[in-house]
Structure 1
C-alpha cells in the first residue's frame, strides 16, 4: 500500500482515465494522498499567435473541471495542473512532493516510441519511486 500517489492524466481519446483512478484507489493506504497531475505542454513560439489568451483561459477552466471530477472519485484526492515538458514535470513533481508511487497510463508503443521515447517510458526509466504502467 502507498501513502502518496501521483497519477498523471492526459486528456485524449487514446488513454483510459478510469483504470489509473481505480488502481490508485486499490493501492492507496487508508488516509493516503492521491494527486492527479495534468501537464500542459508549452506552445512553440510560432503557434502562440494562433491561440488566443481567451482560448487558453477557457482550456484551463475546462481542465480544472475535469481534474475536480476525477478527484471526487477518491478520498484524499486533488487535481493539479502545471506547464512544462510532461516527462520532466511529472518526475520533478514526484521528487518535490515525495510521491512513493506513480501510476501512469500508456499506449502500445509504436516505432516512433522506440526512437523518441514516450512520456511513460521516460518516467519509468528516471523515477526515484515505484511506477505502475497501465495499458
Structure 2
C-alpha cells in the first residue's frame, strides 16, 4: 500500500519511540515498505542562546542522537535508514518527506500540553501542512 514510510521520533520519549518503531516494523513488513526514521534536534535559535552552549555542542548532540537512533532502530528489529536533522521538527520532517518522496509519514501523538492547545503540536502541524499521507498513532493504540 505504501512503498516508502518516514517515521519521525522524539528519542527523549523512549516508550513512544519504541511503540512507533514497532508499528513501523509491522506496517513495513506487511507492505514491504522502505523505512526512514528521523530525529530532529531543535536548533538553539538566537545567537545569544547559542553563546551559552559549548563550542562542540551541535556536533556532540548530532553524534549522540545518531548513536541512540541506531540503537532504537536495531532494538525494534527494523530495517531502516536513520536521519538526524537540526531545526524545527515539522519543517524538517516535511522537507525530508519531499526529498525522500515518501508515501506516508507515521507519527505519534501524545496527551497535549497547554502550549499545544495554543500553538499546536508537531503532529497537528504535520497533518495540516504535509502533502504526504499522515498516519497518527495515538497513545492508546495497540501495538502488536
TM-score, normalised by the number of residues in structure 1: 0.88
Aligned-partner Cα distance in 1 for 2:108–2:38: 12
**Partner of residue 65 from structure 2, selected from 63, 66, 89:** 63
Q: Which residue of 2 aligns with 1:107?
A: 110
Question: Matched residues in 2 for 1:79 and 1:49: separation?
Answer: 29
Does the alignment pair 1:86 with 2:98? no
Q: Matched residue pairs, number? A: 133
**1:133 Cα deviation from its structure 2 partner:** 1.4
**In the aligned structure 2, how far is the partner of 1:63 from the partner of 1:110?**
25
CA distance in 1, matches of 2:129, 2:123: 10
Q: CA RMSD in A?
A: 1.7
Whether the 8 Å CA contact 2:11–2:69 is kept in 1: the answer is no
Greater Cα offset, 43-52 or 104-113: 104-113
Secondary structure at 1:81's aligned position in 2?
Answer: strand
- Residue 52 of structure 1 aligns with which residue? 54
Distance, in Å, in 1 between the alignment partners of 2:14 and 2:117 is 18
What residue number does 2:42 align with? 41
Q: Is structure 2 residue 78 aligned with structure 1 residue 74?
A: yes
Q: Is the 8 A contact 1:41 1:83 kept in 2?
A: yes
More moved, 10-19 vs 112-121: 10-19
Q: Which has the higher strand share?
A: 1
Is contact 2:106–2:134 with CA below 8 Å preserved after alignment?
Answer: yes
8 Å contact from structure 1 (residues 6, 94) kept in 2:
yes
Shift of residue 24 of structure 1? Answer: 0.8
1:38-81 deviation digits (Å, cap 9, x = unpaired): 11221122211111123332222211111111333212x01101
